[in-house]
Copies of this chain bind each other. A is one copy, B any other.
Amino acid sequence: MSRTIRVTVWNEYVHEREIPAIAAVYPEGIHGCIRRFLSREEDIAVTCVTLDMPHQGITRELLAGTDVLIWWSHARQEDVTDETVRLVREAVHAGMGLIALHSAHFSRIMRDLMGTTMTLHWRHGDSEKLWCIAPAHPIARGVPACIDLPAEEMYGEPFDIPRPDDIVFLGWFASGHVFRSGMTFIRGMGRIFYFQPGHEEAPVYEQPEIQRIITNAVRWAAPVCRLDGPPDNVAE
């Protein structure tokens, strides 16, 4: 129970380098912010990789040593290669946890794992109240019933996603929209958490309650059972 959870944060890392206003919000990059708060936890060790690295930052060796992969992407979703998608999918199927943040709902890997279009309604310049509807879920441990996000992009229903295993959070947006903002799924041996907050223009990942949720999600998503590869057919 006391082993270290090895987290890899994969960040597209485009907006933070191209847009000064966003660089001001996340001077270390979104991955740097996530690494900072996760690294405070004794049982978590963090590695960061970005899209511009060789092999898009993703190798079989890295994933074999990753318990939970956190993924943030937006502007370059379609640049992620078939090979990267395949490696991540196979690692999830073999038991690696996956936390997809915000616009990563539309990443190739999430569309691949979910089998739906992952489409939704959206608009900039909104605010959100994040309601916890599953207070007995491990991801809700120590999380308040309602979290205010003064500036957040609106993501609204209908959200084209398979029925989730658990809906932990619902989002209320000032513009009149609602969203399933925190949901879990299992694919193969892999435990997946999708979490909607985290538009790059506001320091959402600096909020302690959001950090608490992501930290809880890391512990929840850590592998129960890790195979050498995806499950295979067995002839008896």
Q: Which residues on A are within 8 Å of B, measured CB to CB?
A: 1-2, 43, 93, 95, 112-117, 119-123, 129, 131-138, 140-141, 145-146, 154, 156-160, 162-163, 165-167, 170-173, 175-178, 180, 185-191, 223-225, 230-236
In angstroms, Cα B43 to Cα A123, docked, is: 43
Pairwise interchain contact B176-A135, C-beta atoms closer than 8 A: no
In angstroms, Cα B38 to Cα A235, docked, is: 34
Copies of the protein in its oligomer: 4
Assuming A129-B176, A135-B189, A136-B186, is B162 touching A117 (CB within 8 A)?
no
Closest beta carbon of chain B to A196's beta carbon, Å? 13
The 14 sampled A-B contact pairs (Cβ below 8 Å) are A116-B187, A116-B188, A117-B232, A119-B232, A120-B233, A122-B236, A131-B178, A132-B158, A135-B225, A136-B186, A136-B225, A157-B170, A160-B188, A162-B185
In angstroms, Cα B225 to Cα A117, docked, is: 16
